[in-house]
């Protein structure tokens, strides 16, 4: 069980690091179609949060309250709740503290992980507090130029074997995905935009035997540049609700975006998409 738990946290945090460089790292313009959130889930039909845009000059910290009302094929309903912490500073650095412990259950520190993205240096950091271990991912275009060595200094060849993360996708029908923007509404006294994504999945897609529909409604604060409410209706009428609460507009402490001094650090150099080089 312990190995499975740790593997789940690693997969969750490492997979969450990739979208942070993409769609949610940009500003949502009011005159353009509202794009849906990048959701963070456990892969077991449980959502725990969403990513926040890596934008400067709009600092805040908050919690994301996640309620997963899951209905199985037999009609039985279970409710699971999680709380995720998010923060962004004036430089655009973001931090997401993911806690897979159900609300009210004893805390297992192995189920807690942290993902930090530095929008200035383009470095991704993943922290595992239970092991005081960090993975720091740096991208090729952010690295300084190599040092020029004197002609007399030998430069031994270095052979680095890439680890290819891309997996061959099996041929299968693609889902039909439609996005629309519905209206301007009020949430917690603030003006928000309401968007919807409707995905129609064919039979045998994603492990589901029957064809099914997933509808995601999302409410976005233009001022905060963050989603404030997300509702996903899934198979068998399962409902997943993510609510942004306890919003503080102050700048978080700078230490929140650094690796603690007592952590062991594994540096990773990202040379190209789907290829990693370990240092």
pLDDT tens digits for range 128-152: 999 999 999 987 765 555 554 444 4
- Give whole-number Cα distances, 17 to 71, 106, 157, in Å: 29, 27, 32
Distance of CA 155 to the CA centre of its chain: 40
The residues near 27 (Cβ < 8 Å, ≥ 6 apart) are 53, 55, 225
- What six digits make up the tokens of 152? 């007399």
Predicted confidence at residue 120, as pLDDT, reads: 82
Q: What one-character DSSP code corresponds to residue 19?
A: G
Q: What is the largest CA-CA distance in the chain?
A: 75
Predicted confidence at residue 203, as pLDDT, reads: 84
**Mean predicted confidence (pLDDT) in 173-202:** 93
CA distance 4 to 100: 13
Q: Give residue 42's pLDDT band: very low, low, confident or very high (50, 70, 90).
A: confident
pLDDT tens digits for range 60-91: 999 999 999 988 777 788 899 999 999 999 99
CA distance 81 to 243: 11
CA distance 143 to 268: 12
Per DSSP bridges, beta strands 264-272 and 133-139 are parallel
Asked if 252 contacts 261 with a C-beta cutoff of 8 angstroms, the reply is no
- Please state the domain extents for the chain: 2-141+172-278
- pLDDT greater than 90 at residue 162: no
- What six digits make up the tokens of 104? 């009210």
CB atoms < 10 A from the CB of 216, how many?
A: 19
CA distance 110 to 204: 34
pLDDT tens digits for range 236-277: 788 999 999 999 999 999 999 999 999 999 999 876 454 443
- pLDDT greater than 70 at residue 221: yes
HEC profile of 193-227: EEEEEEEEECCCECCECCCEEEEEEEEEECCCCEE
Residue with tokens 């899934």: 234
Q: Name the CATH superfamily housing domain 2-141+172-278.
A: Lipoprotein localisation LolA/LolB/LppX (2.50.20.10)
């Amino acid at each position: 069980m312990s190995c499975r738990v740790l593997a789940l946290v690693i997969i969750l945090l490492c997979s969450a690091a990739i979208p942070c460089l993409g769609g949610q790292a940009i500003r949502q313009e009011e005159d353009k179609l509202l794009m849906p959130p990048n959701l963070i889930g456990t892969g077991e039909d449980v959502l725990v949060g969403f990513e926040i845009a890596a934008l400067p000059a709009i600092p805040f910290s908050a919690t994301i309250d996640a309620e997963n009302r899951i209905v199985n094929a037999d009609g039985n309903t279970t409710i699971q709740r999680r709380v995720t912490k998010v923060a962004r500073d004036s430089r655009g650095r973001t931090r997401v503290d993911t806690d897979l412990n159900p609300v009210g259950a004893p805390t297992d520190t192995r189920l807690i992980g942290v993902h930090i993205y530095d929008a200035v240096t383009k470095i991704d950091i993943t922290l595992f507090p239970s092991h005081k271990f960090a993975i720091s991912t740096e991208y090729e275009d952010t690295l300084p130029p190599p040092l020029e060595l004197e002609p007399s200094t030998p430069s031994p060849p270095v052979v680095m074997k890439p680890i290819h993360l891309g997996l061959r996708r099996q041929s299968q029908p693609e889902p039909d995905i439609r996005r629309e923007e519905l209206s301007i509404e009020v949430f917690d006294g603030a003006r928000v935009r309401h968007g919807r994504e409707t995905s129609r999945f064919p039979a045998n897609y994603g492990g589901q035997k029957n064809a099914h529909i997933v509808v995601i409604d999302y409410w976005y604060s233009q001022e905060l540049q963050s989603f404030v409410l997300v509702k996903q209706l899934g198979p068998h009428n399962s409902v997943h609700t993510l609510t942004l609460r306890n919003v503080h507009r102050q700048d978080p402490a700078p230490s929140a975006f650094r690796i603690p001094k007592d952590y062991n650090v594994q540096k990773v150099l990202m040379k190209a998409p789907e290829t990693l080089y370990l240092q």
